[in-house]
Chain A
Amino acid sequence: MVPRFEYYPTRSVDEALTLLAEREGSEVVAGATNTLVDARARRKIPKAVIDINRLGDLRYARRDDGTIRLGARTTLTDCFSLPFFAEEAPVLEMMAAEFAGTLIRNRATLAGNIAYASPAADVVPPLLALGATIAVTSKARGSRALLLADFILGPRKTALAQDEIITELAFPADGETKSGYFKFALRNAMAISLVSGAVVLRMEGKRIREAGLALGAVAPKPYRVTQAEELLKGQAPTDALIREVARVAAATATPISDIRASAEYRREMTEVMTRRIIERALSS
């Protein structure tokens, strides 16, 4: 049985912001794939649900000059059903293909996965590796943009204020990019990651001009491995360098031991999988 809450459909961002500001304890939903699960389990019961699921103006994927812009209502299915992603952000396409299962991907949104701020949020490492920013807006203070890395504060904690809505994700599109993604879990679908990671290499010929490498599920929040990124920057990587990068990345991981895996196993898999995705990205 789902516990009681109020429900408000909205026709515009402005209407949603007004409702959100007026109603303490209200929660914005799009796919609602986390909100309803938590409500049913009585982990977190909203007083009111503000539905932005029909806001067409938040569902877009486009390129503005050198910037890729994704509306907050972009679903996981959009990331591999729209050809745009294969061309402009293949790392998101790779991630989406392994996210939960088809039925969830059809409704779950990129922004919702970010807002939920699970340490194992699969959407986050690829966007961190891309250097994404997140735009939020409120009735009282208007819009602001911040780095995604600064937006997520810790387990289930973000910088989103009660009266704010996520509107957009953006990242630079510049240059030739090679990317890789892994999700390592106990099943091939409907699984919580033991460790996940993404690499985005912005190339200049055979050399890496800029590297983005991010890990998920092995720390209180997904994070960029800046030490490893620095090792790759400006290099045409050898096998030895890639092994070193993977070792450095694994050394930054602070995973927990739980019912699914030990910390040692997660750290070991971090090294193995990081090495593999860099190799795969460079050979693509």
Chain B
Amino acid sequence: MYDLQTIHLKINGVEEEVSVKPYATLLDVLRDQMGHIEVKEGCAVGDCGACAVFLDGVPACSCLVLARQADRAEIVTAAGLGTPENLHPLQEAFMDYGGIQCGFCTPGLIISAKSLLDQNPHPTRQDVKVALSGNYCRCTGYEQVIEAVLAAAAKMDGRDG
């Protein structure tokens, strides 16, 4: 009844298999079974957005997705958007503008910001605030985060990220 079952995930471009319990969340599987610790557990009830990942291109709280619901899905985490040598413009802008303090909320914010810029390459300040409204940050007061997203948008100027 509660047996392990193998699911197939493509995470940041890499095909992987993992055996999961029926009640395991995608968040727990990504972090505890697969080592993707860039996906953060904050509230674990969908309020804070720290666990956000792209699930088949759509940002979602991985704490509210069962791992088996994600079977054969393509997942992109914040670590899949750039490398330390070749950062994504959003990652660079978060550092340049002080959008990172403790860093805990950052992976989720980067996912939501990336989704915004994919859909709307020239967002207004209000667009950014709405797009990030499901992500809590307890350090920055959000101003630096908003500045970072606007700066990344200007730098990318409509390029695909």
Contacts and interface: CB of A to CB of B under 8 A. Distances in A.
Interface of A: 2-7, 9, 31-33, 36-37, 39-41, 49, 51, 53, 77, 97, 100-104, 106-107, 188-190
Contact of B133 (A3, A9, A101, A106): A101
A106 B59 contact: yes
Given A32-B64, A101-B49, A6 B22 contact: yes
A2 B21 CA distance: 11
Contacts of A104: 46, 61, 64, 134
Contacts of A6: 1-2, 22
Interface in B1-30: 1-2, 21-25, 28
B66 A7 contact: yes
B134 A49 contact: no
A190 B22 CA distance: 28
Contacts of B71: 9
Interface string B60-91: 11011110110100000000000000000000
Contacts of B44: 40
Contacts of B2: 4, 6
B131 interface: yes
Contact of B112 (A33, A51, A102, A188): A102
A103 B66 contact: no
**Chain A to chain B: the 3 pairs with minimum beta-carbon distance, closest first:** A101-B134, A189-B133, A7-B22
B112 A103 contact: yes
B34 interface: no
14 contacts: A2-B24, A3-B23, A9-B71, A32-B66, A36-B25, A36-B63, A37-B45, A39-B23, A49-B22, A77-B58, A103-B59, A104-B61, A189-B133, A190-B133
B23 A103 contact: no
Contact of B61 (A3, A5, A51, A103): A103
Given A7-B68, A101-B135, A106-B59, 16 more contacts: A2-B28, A5-B22, A32-B65, A32-B69, A36-B46, A36-B63, A37-B46, A40-B44, A40-B45, A49-B66, A53-B69, A103-B46, A103-B61, A104-B46, A189-B130, A189-B133
